[in-house]
Structure 1
Amino acid sequence: MKERERRQFKRQVLVMFLHVFDSETGKVLGYLGDISTHGLLLISETPIEVDKKIIIGVRLQKLEADLHYVDMTADKHFCCMAQSRWTGKIDHELYATGFMLLEPSDSVIQEIQQIIIRIGKEETSPTHKYVDAMLRLDKTLSQTERADIAQDIQALHGVAFVSFQEDLPHVLIVEHNIDEISASTILQHLNQQQIKAELVTLKG
């Protein structure tokens, strides 16, 4: 599908990732990559079939490690019917799926606008000190090895939070202070320990 057909409305790239889930089951589908009042980008390990309709939910709290299901009675979130319009690979193993929001309510539009204000990426003059980096690790690493890596990264100066998602066990989310440590420095730290890793980047 051509790029202009993929995206009719410019979406806002975010400096932090939020969980996206199926509101009918509460099951976490992946991460929110970018968003507008017309659509959003889902990052997941499995592709979503094109034209599939889902009452999609976005969890508004910060990421939590090993979150499989969202508690819709306790977790702050919003839901909206959405339809997948395209899907493609971000890298060797991660997929991006573009969703169009179908008749979002005024309250959903307000929540999205607040997300953009709170964690939207300003390309010209960054205003956020703490941002999320997404790293894809060697898929052959065991759970114990991944836990050791997370503990090691957490100890780095400038790192605030480290999260693995069991449904995406080889994806590491690192919240870090960009004034103290960069995503490339975190990647270099892993590579120096002979750990295969790559930064996952999204185009704005």
Structure 2
Amino acid sequence: MPIQRRIDRQQLPYYLKVFNRITDKPMGYIGNVSLEGLMLISQLPMLVGARFDMRLKIPGPNAQRFIDFSATCQWCHEDVTPGSFDSGFAMVVPPAEFVEMVDALHQYFSFYPMAASA
């Protein structure tokens, strides 16, 4: 049976690591993201109700870019994977760079119908 996948599967959590902006220590990986917030996959539970100053380090062709933002933890529970926790964060005020990243990821991971051949 031939492989019919038209888009390579991407493992988003392996790319978008979230850091504490103050300490520069890793907090976890983005599991899901939108303009309203994100889900963080981490090894430690996050404090619900706390505001966190976060940073994404985006690799680039010439230099690394930072996207700094603040978000408040809305919920946290243990993941089905032992030793992992999922936490939902609401954005305080998403910066323009965050909005651009979410739009770019949405386009990159979206499926569009193929154009009909003439």
Q: Tell me the TM-score range normalised by the shorter chain.
A: 0.7 to 0.9
Deviations 1:146-179 (A, max 9, x none): xxxxxxxxxxxxxxxxxxxxxxxxxxxxxxxxxx
Equivalent of residue 72 in structure 2, options 63, 67, 83: 83
Is 1:104 the counterpart of 2:102 in the alignment? no
Q: TM-score, normalised by structure 2?
A: 0.72
Q: Could you tell me how far apart the structure 2 residues matched to 1:47 and 1:121 are?
A: 31
Aligned-pair CA distance for 1:81: 1.0
Q: TM-score, normalised by structure 1?
A: 0.44
Matched position secondary structure for 1:99? strand
Q: In the alignment, which residue of structure 2 is the partner of 1:61?
A: 59
Deviations 1:106-130 (A, max 9, x none): 3321122123323x365x98xxxxx
Equivalent of residue 37 in structure 1, options 24, 30, 35: 35
CA contact (8 A) 1:15 1:121 kept: no
Q: Could you tell me how far apart the structure 1 residues matched to 2:11 and 2:110 are?
A: 5
Matched position secondary structure for 1:108? helix
Aligned pairs for 1:180-195 within 5 A = none
Letter in 2 for 1:114: A
CA contact (8 A) 1:87 1:96 kept: yes
Matched position secondary structure for 1:41? strand
Q: Could you tell me how far apart the structure 1 residues matched to 2:69 and 2:77 are?
A: 22
Matched position secondary structure for 2:12? strand
- Report percent identity of matched pairs: 22
Letter in 2 for 1:42: L
Matched position secondary structure for 1:54? strand
Q: Could you tell me how far apart the structure 2 residues matched to 1:81 and 1:41 are?
A: 13
RMSD: 2.3
Q: Could you tell me how far apart the structure 2 residues matched to 1:121 and 1:88 are?
A: 28
- Which structure's residues are more often helix, by fraction? 1
Deviations 1:15-39 (A, max 9, x none): 4221011111111111110100110
